[in-house]
Amino acid sequence: MSQARNFADLLASGTTITTDKIVNDGRLGNKNLIINGAFQIWQRGNGATTVSGNDIFAADRFKGWANGGGTYTVEQSTDVPNNEFEFSAKLTNTATDGSVAAGDFYAYATDIEGYNVSQLAYGHSDAKAVTLSFWVKSSLAGTYCIALYSTTANRSHIKEYTISSANTWEKKTITISSGDTTGSWNRTNGNGLRIYWDLGSGSTYQASADTWLASQDFSTTNQAAWIGSASATFYITGIQLEEGETATDFEHKSYGDELAKCQRYYVQLVNGNSQSISIGSALGSGANQARAVVQFPVEMRASPSVVSNSGTQYFTIEGIISFDGPMLTTYKNTRAAMVYFSTGTTLTTGQSGVFRSNNASASLAFKAEL
């Protein structure tokens, strides 16, 4: 929502505009606690990613679970509710689970860093209300569930919502009017809050809605069996979580701002779209080894791990040697890392050159996900 529109709405309502009104009710920026809620950023690639286990990322900041016999894919889609949005996440059931075991679960989720939800004061007597809004469309109508969850305090709160018509975009607004006053919620760079969209889970993860629970639960017995419906689809976009009991217009962010926020958790330096992407300068450091310092575009949430693939001559030190990968990291922090790799060929210590990708299938990333 633009600043001009906020002011116009206040004037039209006849409300006296005061400094307190502007600060507390205007919500002119950074109101949305969700990163990539319009699904603009897909650093790992926007094609179909199969979710057949836990913590499977596709769109940045969102991950899937398929802890059972069923599977589904996640991909970027241009099927959207209106011209306000360009993209949505499309989930497609690729292997049904018609009899979900008690301990199995299927869900789509996003994690929010503790620093970004500390103002909600969860775990304290003055915990705040929050409102979640999003657009959703599914081939299977019925009752669905979302849940807020703390991985550190083991506290959860389930809310039901209804998809009234199959294959029709609908906007949902869910308010949790009482913030959790119990437990040790993370307020720093760890996992501060997780939001689950349930897709059909077992009885171990089912509980009553509309109350804070001392457990990891994210559905009720009313949840539609989406994972049990062959080829079922589930689209979602325009996700916003904000403080207070009123849903406001979706806060659109520039592509660059959203990308930078995502890169705090995952940085894709080589993504397989080109066979010649310069990464940095490499230096021979032993008979069969070279090292290179990589600077991250933004400060990462924590000291990251390296994610790289391997294939014949996937990488090269320009004019000196090509090698397969993968790579390891050492001497790393939240701003930079030294990567080292085996060249398989004798290098003179101190011999240097440009370190770059050498194959369109090469991939190199750094991960500090929650």
CATH architecture of 32-261: Sandwich (2.60)
Q: What are phi and psi of 148, to 5 degrees?
A: -95, 140
- CA dist 346 and 212 (Å) reads 61
Write out pLDDT tens, residues 99-153. Answer: 999 999 999 999 999 999 999 999 999 999 999 999 999 999 999 999 999 999 9
Q: What are phi and psi of 117, to 5 degrees?
A: -125, 10
Q: What is the Cα Rg of the chain in Å?
A: 23
- CA dist 110 and 148 (Å) reads 10
Of the listed ranges 60-69, 166-175, 233-242, 325-334, the least confidently predicted one is 325-334
**Residues 167 and 139 sit within 8 Å (Cβ to Cβ):** yes
The pLDDT value given to residue 320: 87
The pLDDT value given to residue 260: 98
Write out pLDDT tens, residues 320-350. Answer: 888 998 888 889 999 999 998 888 777 788 8
Scored b (16 or more CB within 10 A) or e, 289-325 reads: ebbbbbebeeebbeebebbbbeeeebbbbbebbbbbb
**Residues 130 and 94 sit within 8 Å (Cβ to Cβ):** no
Of 68, 65, 52, which Cα lies nearest the Cα of 104?
A: 68
**Domain 266-367 part of CATH 1.20.120:** no
Mean pLDDT of the chain: 92
Listed by start position, the domains of the chain span 1-30, 32-261, 266-367
| Fold agreement (32-261, 266-367) | no
pLDDT category at 189 given cuts 50, 70, 90 is very high
The pLDDT value given to residue 123: 98
**Residues 179 and 127 sit within 8 Å (Cβ to Cβ):** yes
Write out pLDDT tens, residues 289-316. Answer: 899 999 999 999 999 999 999 999 999 9
**Residues 338 and 303 sit within 8 Å (Cβ to Cβ):** no
pLDDT at 23 over 50: no
